[in-house]
Chain A
Amino acid sequence: MSASVHIPNDRPRIDQLWGDIEAAMQVHGYAAASVFAVRLALEEAMTNAFKHGLKDLPEGTPITVDYTITDARVSIAVEDPGPGFDPDDVPDPTAEENLTRPGGRGLLLIRSYMTHAEFKNQGRRLEMVYERPD
């Protein structure tokens, strides 16, 4: 199953998108732990796009979420129309000096839970893949 969705920062719409992805993952027989991992990564990626990517753009500006779900993998790309950023500039939130900072953990969680995560288009597009575990 594949889809491309333009979505504003609106919780019912986000929940609806997640409901579609979750249903597709269930059709393909993914375990609860896989569903948890993908949801966490998707939520963090969308939060980053809304909060940082769209920071200086008008309220209601949508982001784009493309996803493809097969038996082997879940591929999701989250893209915002903002100015982009340098992912290498994000400090390590697990470094001792950053451990008690309130923010900056989203990317760490995405990289921990997804098999592959890569920024493209100057940081505007995050492509993530979750491979079904053996």
Chain B
Amino acid sequence: MPAEETRLRITEQDGVTRIEFLDRNILDEASIQRIGEEITDIIDNSSDPKLLINFSQVDHMSSAALGTLITIHHKIRNRSGELRLANIDPQIQEVFSITKLDRIFTIHEDVDDAMKAFG
């Protein structure tokens, strides 16, 4: 797999950038860094970023991936944008709960629910 290949599927709908992970496992440090850079580019190129990250494909993720999500959360907040997460597997939801990050992120059951919630 080429190093520069995207690990994200990115689409636009109703002013919201929808991001879906292509990998089932978000564990590899280099991949996590690349994902962070790609999403940062999206945020930096928007004055009012509205991002929906869809976890429907994800089976495993590491604390390093959580760290990247927090960095993304900060960047979006600094630009007065919105970040919503959706379709998180119950086992991964538990990881958010243990780390208390379910208090930081806005997590929706599915994409439709998240899309309706954007202002």
Q: A-side interface residues toward B, CB under 8 Å?
A: 11, 33, 36, 39-40, 43-44, 47, 51, 93-94, 99-103, 105-106, 108-109, 112
Main secondary structure of the interface of B (DSSP, over half): helix
Which of the 9-residue segments B10-18, B45-53, B66-74, B106-114 touches chain A?
B66-74
How far in angstroms is the closest Cβ of chain B from A104? 8
The answer, yes or no, to whether B29 is at the interface (CB within 8 Å) is yes
Known contacts A36-B59, A40-B60; 17 additional CB pairs below 8 A are A11-B30, A36-B91, A39-B60, A40-B95, A43-B60, A93-B99, A99-B101, A99-B104, A102-B67, A102-B70, A103-B63, A105-B63, A105-B66, A106-B63, A109-B63, A109-B98, A112-B98
Task: Tell whether, in the assembled complex, residue B62 and residue A43 are in contact, meaning their CB atoms are under 8 Å apart.
Answer: yes
Question: Can you list 16 residue pairs at the A/B interface with Cβ under 8 Å?
Answer: A11-B30, A36-B59, A36-B60, A43-B27, A43-B60, A44-B62, A47-B29, A47-B64, A100-B70, A100-B73, A102-B70, A102-B71, A103-B64, A105-B66, A105-B67, A112-B98
B28 A11 Cβ-Cβ under 8 A: yes
- Complex CA gap A108/B96 in Å reads 12
Number of contacting residues on B, CB 8 A?
24
- Which of A39, A99, A102 gathers the greatest number of chain B CB atoms within 10 Å? A102
Q: Is B9 positioned at the interface, with any CB of A under 8 Å from its CB?
A: no
Quick check: is B116 within 8 A (CB to CB) of the other chain?
Answer: no
Establish whether residues A108 and B98, one from each chain, have CB atoms under 8 Å apart when the complex forms: yes
Task: Decide: A94 near B100, CB < 8 A? Known: A43-B62, A109-B63.
Answer: yes
Closest residue on chain B to residue A37 by CB atoms: B91
Q: Which of A94, A99, A103 contacts B67 (CB 8 A)?
A: A103
Residues of chain B within 8 A (CB-CB) of A106 are 62-63
A108–B99 CB distance below 8 A: yes
Q: What are the 9 A-B residue pairs with the smallest beta carbon separation, nearest first?
A: A102-B67, A105-B63, A106-B63, A94-B100, A112-B98, A102-B70, A11-B28, A36-B91, A105-B99
Q: Which residue of A lies closest to B69 (CB)?
A: A102
Please give the distance in Å from B30's CB to the nearest CB on chain A.
8
Closest to B97 in A: A112
Q: Which of B62, B74, B91, B95 contacts A100 (CB 8 A)?
A: B74
Closest approach, in angstroms, between the C-beta of A76 and any C-beta of chain B? 16
By beta carbon, the residue of chain B nearest A101 is B70
